[in-house]
Amino acid sequence: MRVEPIPIVLLTGFLGSGKTTLLAQALSDPAMGDALVLVNELGSVGLDHDLLWAGGEVALSLDNGCICCSVSDDLITLLRDLFWKRLHRSITRFSRVVIETTGIADPYGILTALQTNPLVADRYRYAGTVTVIDAHKGMELIRKHDEALAQAAIADRIVLSHADATPQDVRDRLRRDLQALNGFADIVESERGSAGNAGLFDVASKVPTKLTPHTHAGHRHIDTFAIALRADRDLATVHAALEALGQAGGPNLLRAKGLVLIDDQLFVIQMVGKVITSLDPVNGPVDHEGFLVVIGKGMDVAATRAVLAGITHD
């Protein structure tokens, strides 16, 4: 009998966003008792580590660099070993994993590692990303730093920190800007000192239900555009086309989501960067029009359509 893969949620956010405070608060919630938390530190001893231990919970820390870069091999080994220890009951059983990335981390590296290592990909599944953004200065950081932009673009849930100290009009404007950048994300607010944040990690990735128009989000020419997909292609052809999209888009491709009908079965498509995180069957009407919504940074729309020509309508 196949063991159900363990969901992994990434927690990311730029330096000073408040993500470690959010995680520390969540760890005090009994609902997080089934979670294994992996913490990455840039220094041998850091404030993040102290905050997490102050909550009385056990957090595993990786000590040799950014989790999205040089530490990826260690992460794979760690996840594999923890799975076997869990299976043999030599550690407390956990049913989900939260990985906190460093404040300067681009999350694509860890997703690539999780998806491309067969041992880990068979036992864990990527469930989504929670990105913490400072409600007061979030858009300023996103405009200035590619890492902050990437973190916002791939988020399934965006948590606005320091909301209680930020004027309502500033928060409203930030919400509008973030929706233009990433219409897939659920946006919620968190106040300093609030408890019971465990539910923030119950990520349910939203899938659009219809085509959306071509838009410019206004952040260094971020484009969101939709492409209609054919319903007469097989799974291998669709997968190959998505891989080609990832290779052609390179670092400019931030996110893609959609639906496609294959052999009278609706499939959900999800990509983070060039990584296909989901191409799986989903319940839905067989007469649903297939489509793919793409978020990119300065992408050539015509070239993107050309790459996908084999699975799109003329």
Give domain 6-201's CATH superfamily.
P-loop containing nucleotide triphosphate hydrolases (3.40.50.300)
User: Residues 147-175: what's their mean pLDDT?
Assistant: 89
Q: What pLDDT does 49 receive? A: 41
Q: Is the distance from CB of 120 to CB of 76 less than 8 angstroms?
A: yes
Is pLDDT larger for residue 15 or for residue 102? 15
Asked if 98 and 31 touch (Cβ cutoff 8 Å), the reply is no
pLDDT band, very low/low/confident/very high, at 104 (cuts 50, 70, 90): low
Angle between helices 108-116 and 72-87 (to 10 degrees): 50
Residues contacting residue 128 through CB under 8 Å, at least 6 positions apart: 9, 10, 156, 157, 203, 204, 205
* pLDDT at 103 (0 to 100): 61
Tokens in use for 141? 């950081």
Report pLDDT for 139. Answer: 86
Output b/e per residue, 154-171; b: 16+ Cβ within 10 A.
Answer: bbbbbbbbbbeebeeeeb
What CATH topology corresponds to 215-311? Hypothetical Protein Yjia; Chain: A;domain 2 (3.30.1220)
pLDDT at 25: 76
Sequence ranges of the domains in the chain: 6-201, 215-311
SS3 track for the chain: CCCCCEEEEEEEECCCCCHHHHHHHHHCCHHHHHEEEEEECCCCCCHHHHHHHHCCCCEEEECCCCCCCCCHHHHHHHHHHHHHHHHCCCCCCCCEEEEECCCCCCCHHHHHHHHHCHHHHHHEEEEEEEEEEECCCHHHHHHHCHHHHHHHHCCCEEEEECHHHCCHHHHHHHHHHHHHHCCCCEEEECCCCCCCHHHHHCCCCCCCCCCCCCEECCCCCEEEEEEEECCCCCHHHHHHHHHHHHHHHHHHEEEEEEEEEECCEEEEEEEECCEEEEEEECCCCCCCCEEEEEEEECCCHHHHHHHCHHHECC
- pLDDT of amino acid 199: 76
Cβ atoms of 56 and 29 closer than 8 Å: no
User: What percent of the chain has a predicted confidence (pLDDT) above 90?
Assistant: 16
pLDDT in tens, 212-262: 544 444 455 577 788 899 888 999 999 999 999 999 988 888 889 888 999
Has residue 150 got a pLDDT over 80? yes
Which one has a higher pLDDT value, 30 or 273? Answer: 273
Q: 296 — phi, psi (to 5°)? A: -145, 165
Over residues 251-296, the pLDDT tens digits come to 888 889 888 999 889 998 989 888 888 898 888 776 777 889 888 8
| Per-residue model confidence as pLDDT tens digits over 66-94 | 232 234 457 788 888 888 888 888 777 88
Q: CB burial class (10 A; 0-12, 13-18, 19+) of residue 150?
A: buried
Given the structure tokens 């996908």, which residue do they identify? 308
Indicate the residue type of 225: F
- pLDDT greater than 60 at residue 163: yes
Average of per-residue pLDDT values in the chain:
77
CB 271 within 8 A of CB 246: yes
* 156: nearest Cα among 282, 255, 273: 255
What's the CA angle centered on 149, arms 32 and 168, to 5 degrees? 75
Give pLDDT, residue 70. Answer: 33
Q: Is the dihedral of CA 231, 236, 239, 245 positive or negative?
A: negative
Rounded CA gap, 46 and 55, in Å?
15
> For position 209, what pLDDT does the model report?
57
Confidence of residue 59 (pLDDT cuts 50, 70, 90): very low
pLDDT band at 205; cut points 50, 70, 90: low
Q: Residue 212's pLDDT is what?
A: 52
Q: Poorest-confidence range of 59-68, 126-135, 198-207, 241-250?
A: 59-68
pLDDT for 229 equals 92
